[in-house]
């Protein structure tokens, strides 16, 4: 949602549209970048306000920089299924022929993605306790069920 509003990226092509925004620093050849992929130095070069994505736990996020975070949580069963297909699809994981049972064990022991799902979730929930005004907690399933309400929540949170 914020990708589209800030960078005017098309959902399908992840390329900038030819809209009225002329500020080239805001127009990226992709939707908002993953911090894990571009690195902190490149992320710092993007003009503010920045929109970045990350799968980092809260403990690795900058705290006193005025940033706001939208944490979208998803049902762990769906995360497991999504990760499984993600790992089978992308060659760098070397899991194209991997069995679900094997992947389930890897997932439950925190050996895929950002580590243990529940540790990840807990880090953000503890972050909310420390800095509630900086973190908007959304459930993926709620966003799917009522996108309009989610967009309104996001707009209020980021100041729109």
Q: What are 85-138's pLDDT values in tens digits?
A: 999 998 888 888 999 999 999 999 999 877 899 999 999 999 999 888 999 999
Among the three residues 32, 53, 74, which one is the final residue of a domain in this structure?
A: 53
**Do 45 and 59 sit in the same domain of this protein?**
no
**Do 78 and 154 sit in the same domain of this protein?**
yes
- pLDDT tens digits along 15-42: 444 444 444 444 444 566 677 777 777 7
Domain interval for residue 96 = 55-160
**Do 115 and 147 sit in the same domain of this protein?**
yes
Number of domains in the chain: 2
Strands 135-139 and 69-73: parallel
Tokens standing for residue 144: 């799917």
**Do 24 and 60 sit in the same domain of this protein?**
no
**Do 36 and 73 sit in the same domain of this protein?**
no
The phi, psi pair for 138, rounded to 5°, reads -125, 145
CA distances from 68 to 27, 53, 74, 156 (A): 21, 12, 20, 12
Residue 86 catalytic? no
Which one is catalytic: 55, 85, 86, 156?
55
Q: Which residues pair with 69 in a beta bridge?
A: 135
Q: Which residues pair with 70 in a beta bridge?
A: 136
């Amino acid at each position: 949602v914020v990708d589209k509003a800030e960078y005017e990226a098309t959902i399908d092509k992840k390329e900038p549209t030819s809209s009225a925004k002329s500020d080239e620093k805001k127009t990226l050849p992709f939707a908002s970048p993953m911090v894990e992929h571009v690195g902190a130095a490149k992320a710092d070069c993007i003009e503010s306000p920045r929109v970045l994505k990350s799968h980092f736990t809260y403990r690795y996020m900058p705290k006193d920089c005025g940033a706001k975070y939208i944490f979208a949580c998803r049902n762990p069963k769906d995360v497991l299924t999504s990760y499984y297909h993600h790992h089978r699809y992308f060659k760098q994981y070397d899991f194209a022929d991997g069995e679900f049972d094997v992947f389930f064990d890897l997932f439950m022991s925190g050996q895929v993605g950002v580590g243990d799902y529940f540790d990840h979730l807990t880090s953000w929930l503890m972050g909310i306790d420390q800095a509630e005004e900086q973190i908007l907690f959304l459930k993926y399933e709620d966003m799917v069920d009522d996108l309009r309400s989610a967009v309104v929540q996001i707009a209020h949170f980021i100041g729109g």
